[in-house]
Chains A and B, each alone.
Chain A
């Protein structure tokens, strides 16, 4: 008998523009001791479906129209708030996407951890703390005794997610709902967390619902896969069936979006556009403390028209290199020659001139666009600032950019919040290309996006790179993504270059342990 059996679930939202059916008559089962993955892009209704089971959706605007969700012989959807609360956190626990925002910043992790235990099991504080320490050790936190009384901001993203997992498991639930638990993490950390979830699940023999936008993430762990599109379940099957014999076109699209393969090798050698020699960027950590050597004696060149990939985990210095090249952070020592000119010494008009030729695309298109400027204003600003267009020609220039990045001209007066994540990243790319730069630093431009959107944006960047004759530094934590777009790849670890080569060379014959580790971390590598 399944642990959870959802049938014919429909969830509507009342919005200003009328009623929207977010989840439209879906059904799935979760067996005890098995992982059921629900896969779909943002807006497909996968999270809404799971939140509605636990009464975690605000009603209104949401309303559960029909359906049943039988857990342990009782229908969750018919329970009172009080009965549901008894089950939440005790029998069914949740892990959320962003470990940075899901822990209370004002409480120590220990106090947050023991809360569900004390509330549901009526144990003493001391007993709860004892149990919390055991669990923290089990989820792999170093030195729980010392860290249990720290605040969330003192932990890294991966460690916070481990705390979240410990918190979810503290009452030994029978069902765990994990909502994109690794999406906000680096690939290497993601691999560790996936392994941890799978291991804890086997050991406890619990049922898991794993929600993700990325099929490759669940490739190694899911027993059953449910694919959702626009509120409907379009395909269901075991892992084998989905990965080897997907029938629905949407599932096939999701599979195709998984970055695979590498870019064909570039033609003949070209001249160097950028030469970086012994670049060091150190950050002061306060008086007397050793400076943080974010970038430590790094040298490389970028050829004209080339896409150079920079790969490494958080803290490897990959973003700092990009920022140093553009002089967005002060360089400690070393040279950055751009077309023969040392950028590190530039100031005033010379720097402004150089900035026009070098641009940046940021990771988070939500944060990097000014919410109070329309697309038109965002794109017109660099055109006017650098004298590329005059008042008369600026409209034409803006519309041209809209065409280039694949946005409908009709959207030109809209504001960033009216766009989806992928569309916003298109705006950000348009903004970067407005000055007709020769060199672009793309800092994790696709890691905040769904896989399907990610594939589209990568395609767009490759296309525009050719069209504009761009030289690009592509920064990412994800080796599979970089391999897809870059001609050559530098692997960074703790501020130093540990290995470099073409994508194929790194994939087929990695020389360094660290590169091997990164390769190991790529989700679903066995299937590709």
Chain B
């Protein structure tokens, strides 16, 4: 197992390196620079700024200098927030985003898993059609539509929940988490329904019934584990999607998270900030994919044996 984990971590290095390289050169190719603005800047000042941030060096040298910093864990100074490093900015934005992501994932797994399992127990009945139709709507509806709709309904019309903020008023975390998690809950509902239907038709479920176990034990003891493996395998990619999607939700609900910094950095051509956030997020995504693979292996003894040998 440790060999498998170490192998996967080693494989991650070229992936992350490729992400860095592509991002590094792409942001440079994009028109405009960090110190271009509508106001004319005195050429001497601009030159001095560029020298300070090593922008006057040839591109190749800048690239290797960046890699050297990165090896020491330094993501460099931000171009737009003078005096603050990218490390500090990420550390400032991360807690809110991580918390939002975690709650959204929880919403997705609990709501989605439950809906999928319930639907699978009586296929092609109301118990199946209703949650699956809701899931279909969830998949189709974009976050930027769902968020304002929820705000309108629960925040303004019913006045049950606050419309914005993060950690200021009790209950203000509910709507953002729901908004972000909804599409994933819908997707997980479909995955777990399909997984459960497949497992429930297996011969070993018949064996469990022949033992005289009541149906709920057949489902919880024998079916759930196999049925939810596809969901576990999806958690890694889902996490990536949640991070990417958090920007929209953070904007709608005025949450001081990483996503907003990230997008603002792109508008500002804040090279180091874009790169730093990209490196950080891609590392997280690789780690979470690994984590979901490990979890899937832990659930499946056959896979466990394979990884154990590898």
Contact = CB atoms under 8 A, between A and B. Distances in A.
A in complex with B: yes
Interface of A: 54, 56, 85-90, 93-94, 96, 98, 101-107, 115-116, 119-120, 151, 153-154, 164, 167, 286
B207 interface: yes
B206 A89 contact: no
A96 B202 CA distance: 12
Nearest to A286: B309
A101 B203 contact: yes
Interface in B152-210: 202-204, 206-210
B39 interface: no
9 contacts: A54-B210, A86-B212, A94-B210, A96-B206, A115-B213, A116-B212, A116-B213, A164-B207, A167-B211
Contacts of A86: 212
B124 to A, nearest CB: 11
B305 interface: yes
A85 B208 CA distance: 11
B222 A119 contact: no
Contacts of A90: 212
B301 interface: yes
Contacts of A120: 212
A89 B301 contact: no
Nearest to B309: A286
Contacts of A151: 301-302, 305
Best-surrounded residue of B208, B226, B300 (most CB of chain A within 10 A): B208
B211 A106 contact: no
A119 B209 contact: no
Given A107-B222, A153-B301, A153-B305, A101 B210 contact: no
Nearest to A100: B203
Contacts of A94: 207, 210
Nearest to B224: A106
Interface string B198-241: 00001110111111111001000110011000000000000000
Best-surrounded residue of B202, B203, B225 (most CB of chain A within 10 A): B203
A92 to B, nearest CB: 9
B299 interface: yes
Contacts of B225: 106
List of 10 A-B pairs having minimum Cβ-Cβ separation, nearest first: A89-B212, A88-B212, A89-B211, A101-B203, A151-B301, A116-B211, A94-B210, A104-B204, A106-B225, A102-B203
Contacts of A154: 305
B207 A102 contact: yes
B210 A85 contact: no
Contacts of B300: 105-106
Best-surrounded residue of B222, B300, B301, B309 (most CB of chain A within 10 A): B301
Contact of B226 (A87, A89, A106, A164): A106
Contacts of B203: 96, 98, 101-102
A213 B309 CA distance: 41
Best-surrounded residue of A115, A116, A154 (most CB of chain B within 10 A): A115
A103 B204 contact: yes
Contacts of B222: 104, 107
Nearest to B209: A56
A116 B209 CA distance: 10
A152 to B, nearest CB: 9
B119 to A, nearest CB: 17
Contacts of B213: 85, 89, 115-116, 119
Best-surrounded residue of B206, B210, B217 (most CB of chain A within 10 A): B210
Best-surrounded residue of B204, B212, B213, B301 (most CB of chain A within 10 A): B212
A104 B208 contact: yes
A98 B202 CA distance: 11
B204 A119 contact: no
A219 B214 CA distance: 37
A87 to B, nearest CB: 7
B213 to A, nearest CB: 6
Nearest to A85: B212
Contact of B210 (A89, A103, A105, A153): A89
B212 A105 contact: no
Interface in B69-91: none
B212 A87 contact: yes
Nearest to A54: B210
B206 A106 contact: no
B212 A106 contact: no
A119 B210 CA distance: 12
Given A101-B203, A102-B203, A88 B301 contact: no
Contacts of A88: 209-212
A105 B211 CA distance: 16
A56 B209 CA distance: 7
Nearest to B207: A102
A101 B207 CA distance: 10
B212 A102 contact: no
Contacts of A106: 225-226, 299-301
A93 B214 contact: no
Contacts of B226: 104-106
Contacts of B302: 105, 151, 153
A131 B250 CA distance: 59
Contacts of B207: 94, 96, 102-104, 164, 167
Nearest to A177: B210
A69 to B, nearest CB: 16
Contacts of A89: 210-213
A154 B306 CA distance: 12
A79 B225 CA distance: 31
Contacts of A102: 203-204, 206-207
Contacts of B211: 88-89, 115-116, 119, 167
A101 B204 CA distance: 6
Contacts of B206: 56, 96, 102
Contacts of B202: 101
Contacts of A116: 211-213
Given A88-B209, A96-B206, A105-B204, 6 more contacts: A56-B206, A86-B212, A89-B212, A102-B207, A104-B204, A106-B300
Contacts of A103: 204, 207
Nearest to A108: B301
A440 to B, nearest CB: 33
A90 B213 CA distance: 11
A417 to B, nearest CB: 15
A85 B225 CA distance: 23
B3 to A, nearest CB: 11
Contacts of B210: 54, 56, 88-89, 93-94, 96
A90 B211 CA distance: 7
Contacts of A107: 221-222
Contacts of A119: 211-213, 217
Nearest to B302: A153
A115 B207 CA distance: 11
B238 to A, nearest CB: 22
A104 B221 CA distance: 10
A4 B194 CA distance: 39
Contacts of B209: 56, 88
A143 B158 CA distance: 67
Contacts of A85: 212-214
A90 B207 CA distance: 13
Contacts of B214: 85
Nearest to B223: A104
B150 to A, nearest CB: 38
